[in-house]
């Protein structure tokens, strides 16, 4: 398993856990192993769950980005003037 796959898997798991926890919480139930988040209050718990979703998406996007495409844009001869 490569580093890219591991980071993508981590991002997907964070997104999935955050989304499932948030959706279960919307119907009034609690996800048992994430119940400790709600001890801080409703608003901090909600913000933490949304942050899990956002961080998961960001990790998955960054893990799957192609760095060589951006290097050609900044360092390549294609965009030189003169």
What is the average pLDDT across 59-76?
A: 73
Is the distance from CB of 62 to CB of 56 less than 8 angstroms? no
> Residue 21 has which token pair?
């926890």
Q: Residue 33: its pLDDT value, please? A: 83
| Helix intervals (H) in 1-82 | 3-26, 42-63, 67-75
Q: Specify the pTM.
A: 0.77
pLDDT of residue 29: 87
What the block records as the tokens of 42 is 């409703």
Within-domain flag for 76: no
In a domain, 32, yes or no: yes
Cβ contact 52:17 at 8 Å: yes
**31/20 Cα distance (integer angstroms):** 8
Domain count, the chain: 1
pLDDT at 12 over 90: yes
- Look at residue 73 and tell me whether its pLDDT is greater than 80: no
**Is 73 contained in some domain?**
no
Segment 23-67, tens digit of pLDDT: 998 898 888 888 888 889 989 999 999 999 999 999 999 998 876
Report yes or no on 57 lying in a domain: yes
Predicted pLDDT of residue 56: 96
Q: d(Cα 17, Cα 54) in Å, to the nearest integer?
A: 11
Q: 47 in a domain, yes or no?
A: yes
Structural domain harbouring 13 = 3-65
Identify whether 42 is part of a domain: yes
Residue 1: the pLDDT is 83
């Amino acid at each position: 398993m490569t580093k890219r796959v591991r980071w993508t898997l981590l991002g997907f798991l964070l997104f999935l856990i955050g989304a499932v926890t948030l959706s279960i919480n919307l119907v009034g139930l609690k996800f048992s192993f994430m119940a400790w988040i709600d001890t801080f209050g409703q608003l901090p718990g909600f913000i933490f769950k949304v942050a899990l979703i956002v961080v998961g998406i960001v990790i998955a996007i960054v893990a799957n980005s192609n760095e060589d495409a951006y290097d050609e844009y900044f360092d390549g001869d294609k965009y030189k003037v003169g």
